[in-house]
Structure 1
């Protein structure tokens, strides 16, 4: 495929993701769907098959075909052998091996070898019509994408999100960003980290935002205050049951609420800490008040948000260094007029201004979290004020189109009737973090 053909606006874009579809990555499906609506031709390449039993309705609306690479090379030895034989004849092989051996010396793991094997298969099986590759996440997907691009001579770009920014070594971030044509990230917090690793001029801020057309109008709410046992105050949280979500802090805070407050809490999400958190609830004597609902599709999540009185998300830094970006569930809660209590951490304060759009407490501060729940439970008017402000901020500054404008412009196609935004226009979603 010639360079001129690859730069043609009609060329397809290969989107490389770790797994697809995933309930916890609605922002990826939303972005793919929005880019398709701008007229971009996409296809999805996933490094593993889906593990979630449920899917969101938007996954059915995505037109892009999905191809799966073998998660482990022994699962598809014939594909791997054919890819290796093909790669031996490619002019880009020497360039690829030079980069790979340098990476392997600093990361001598089996996972590094799997990335190379997946990249060879991807490179061989990519249709000629795919002129550009785009990786979601700067860790494993970007490694596979970069190796495949080196072998085939294609250009590539990336979207950096959360875990990939904070757990990938500095050297790897620096070299990947230098090799990519461009990249975007979804929080100023993450942008600062990437710029510190040499990404200034390569990486642009592009919030995920929310496609409000997929959501009902904000719900009206009864002014429950937890004073009566027959009308308990309803607390909701949504997220994977992993350390960075801070659900252990939430359970500890719930255990410290005053006896006079009648409440119930629901946790939506699945994950590795389910047994541990369930044991914590049992040990605190909260089994009759706290319900684990498991992973749910987005319509069920929205229905739960419309019934709740307060959304709580106490994210924090995990022991591994992992941390959140700007959780989409905060925007979803704001879209339903659900007041928000969260932590002053990572990308959350970029959406929620403390005392204006919600309440923020220090991450890991269980006492402050319990005090804020108690305060908001007893003040329905304050909750309503915070919810109105969060909804106004969402609709003004965090709609999906602002981020998609940046993405479409970077892909070289702003779409019918859409002008490419000035990438450093004051107030635009693509403004550099400073």
Structure 2
């Protein structure tokens, strides 16, 4: 296929979406001409090194239509003459009846601006996330007749209604997702001629070398040399960090530990207050968001990694958290839960520990056992490192993904309806 591939992202660049940046860079290195369009501008104070290596130019749609009314109105005036505009408008109005929200109006307006701003010769649209970016992309595809595809991940799969997923899966040429659990949910809603493929993100392992030397044999007995625990992730419900704090509060006082948390998120203040109530705030360092180099340094300084994922009240859950793959790449023993795609990486007692979600007693027991047993931590860490090296090197997955993009035709003869 000739012409650029236009990648539609919710925001770019974002510290929490390193996997998307690594994928874009890997596809560029395999010959894809990519242009990035984001629905919102960056909010993070820093970026990862990978963002500086990506050549793709970046354009931004108006995050809110009232912020750029003349831009939106001008786009509508020009786009309304396109042959596919009527089809897209009818699809949008049908969607609006089922989802009468300002968000739905915003996505259609953003789609008009996307069409108006498409680079010359654009051959294909690709949405990262099957919720709002895919809505914008699907409407734009109907207007232009361009084929579109989608990468689905976690929250977008589990919090979108079936009717909307089914419509997008029927319209996209193919969809790829990063866990078997996510693939199974989407495949059950997709027609037979619109494949849903499994593709683990993996790691660009060269960025995570050289591998660390053997870790100290801390066992929590020495108050001057406590076991170093690490948790990385946004402070949101599905990460279960409140459960982690409840578990840590249950540990006996004669086992000495310190926890470092890396990440921002809306629940950060509530978590800090919870730690105060438990009387463990003095043992916790809240670092906030950090770039990849800083996070890598924390993996290498830690003795034990904890991420007690759960299903949130709105159905949101993790796919396969990249931080678990990263931690295991560094030989760091991990404790997590059997939620989402986590069991696709970690076998309980094989290369990590899995406990039930929302169970601080079970989590405390697993943490306590590993805090006091550096040999067991080392064995689990080595097994995790071997698993990542064998099955989660991104080079192979990127070769496969690049092949999928090569399958996309230059233009759909009759674009399918899109939700």
User: Following superposition of structure 1 onto structure 2, how do residues 315-334 of structure 1 map, counting pairs within 5 Å?
Assistant: 315-334=309-328
1:217 and 1:335 in contact (8 A); partners too: no
2:304 and 2:332 in contact (8 A); partners too: yes
Is 1:77 matched up with 2:69? yes
* Match of residue 414 from structure 2: none
TM-superposition CA deviations, 1:235-287 (whole Å, max 9, x none): 00000000000000000000000111000001100010011101100000111
- Quick one: which of 194, 211, 215 aligns to 2:208? 215
Query: In the TM superposition, what is the alpha-carbon distance from 1:336 to its structure 2 partner?
Result: 1.1
- Quick one: which of 389, 412, 415 aligns to 1:395? 389
Is 1:240 matched up with 2:234? yes
Query: In the TM superposition, what is the alpha-carbon distance from 1:199 to its structure 2 partner?
Result: 5.5
* Match of residue 424 from structure 1: none
User: Following superposition of structure 1 onto structure 2, how do residues 186-335 of structure 1 map, counting pairs within 5 Å?
Assistant: 186-198=178-190, 201-219=194-212, 220-335=214-329
User: Following superposition of structure 1 onto structure 2, how do residues 403-418 of structure 1 map, counting pairs within 5 Å?
Assistant: 403-412=397-406
Moved over 4 A (4+): none
CA distance in 2, matches of 1:254, 1:48: 37
**SS at 2:265's partner residue?**
coil
User: Following superposition of structure 1 onto structure 2, how do residues 146-157 of structure 1 map, counting pairs within 5 Å?
Assistant: 146-157=138-149
Query: In the TM superposition, what is the alpha-carbon distance from 1:96 to its structure 2 partner?
Result: 0.4
1:40 and 1:413 in contact (8 A); partners too: no
TM-score normalised according to structure 1 size? 0.92
TM-superposition CA deviations, 1:127-170 (whole Å, max 9, x none): 12211000000000000000001001100000000000000000
TM-superposition CA deviations, 1:85-141 (whole Å, max 9, x none): 012211101110111111111000000000000000000110122110000000000
CA distance in 2, matches of 1:109, 1:402: 41
**SS at 2:16's partner residue?**
coil
2:190 and 2:196 in contact (8 A); partners too: no
Is 1:140 matched up with 2:132? yes
Q: Which runs of 5+ in 2 are unaligned?
A: 409-419
Q: CA RMSD in A?
A: 1.1
TM-superposition CA deviations, 1:309-348 (whole Å, max 9, x none): 0000001011111100000001110111111111111101
Is 1:63 matched up with 2:55? yes
* Match of residue 378 from structure 2: 384
* Match of residue 84 from structure 2: 92
Query: In the TM superposition, what is the alpha-carbon distance from 1:413 to its structure 2 partner?
Result: 7.5
* Match of residue 359 from structure 2: 365
TM-superposition CA deviations, 1:391-433 (whole Å, max 9, x none): 111011111122212211111179xxxxxxxxxxxxxxxxxxx
**Higher relative contact order (Cα pairs below 8 Å, separated by 6+ residues):** 2
Sort the Cα spacing of 1:197 and 1:302 in 2 relative to 1 into closer, same or farther, 3 A. Answer: same
CA distance in 1, matches of 2:119, 2:226: 57
1:83 and 1:120 in contact (8 A); partners too: yes
Is 1:44 matched up with 2:31? no
1:17 and 1:46 in contact (8 A); partners too: yes
